[in-house]
Amino acid sequence: MAENGPDFPIGSVIQNFALPQADTAGKKTALVRGKRATVVSPNQLKIEELDVDLYNAEGKAETTITATRCDFWRKENRLTTDTGILVKKPTLMVSANGIDWNVADSCGTLYTRVRVVLSSANP
């Protein structure tokens, strides 16, 4: 399972972590950070105070995803939550109660009380 970080015994707690993500060419695509992660199974981490930066083709952080609590599914490289999520881009802000997000592909489904706010681009 080391493709998405090292293996830890079930019940382990990892504090103030960062988990870089890269495409097959080794280019950074995302950085997943959190205040605390608890290993629930070899595949599942429960994360508190999640902060994800998604990088564009030029390697610049373009999208930020934050959540108070969520689950990271290592094998599938997915983030899920039903306790609230916020997605921010320069001209877009989306909030929802739930999300099922593919980290590597930077896409997913938001559900329940979804709110979208559009703004003009910064000069």
Contact between 24 and 3 under an 8 Å Cβ cutoff? The reply is: no
For residue range 16-25, what is the model confidence (pLDDT) as tens digits?
999 888 888 8
What is the model's pTM?
0.77
User: Residue 5's pLDDT is what?
Assistant: 60
Phi, psi at 5, each rounded to 5°:
100, 170
For residue 122, what pLDDT band results from cuts at 50, 70 and 90? low
Q: 70 in helix, strand or coil?
A: strand
Residues whose CB falls within 8 Å of the CB of residue 108, separated by 6 or more in sequence, listed in order: 78, 79, 99, 100, 101, 102
In order of start, what are the domains of the chain with their CATH numbers?
13-118 (2.60.450.10)
**Which residue shows structure tokens 């877009």?**
92
For residue 121, what pLDDT band results from cuts at 50, 70 and 90? low
Burial of 82-119, coded b for 16+ CB within 10 Å and e otherwise, reads: eebbebeeeeeebbbebbebebeebebebeeeeeeeee
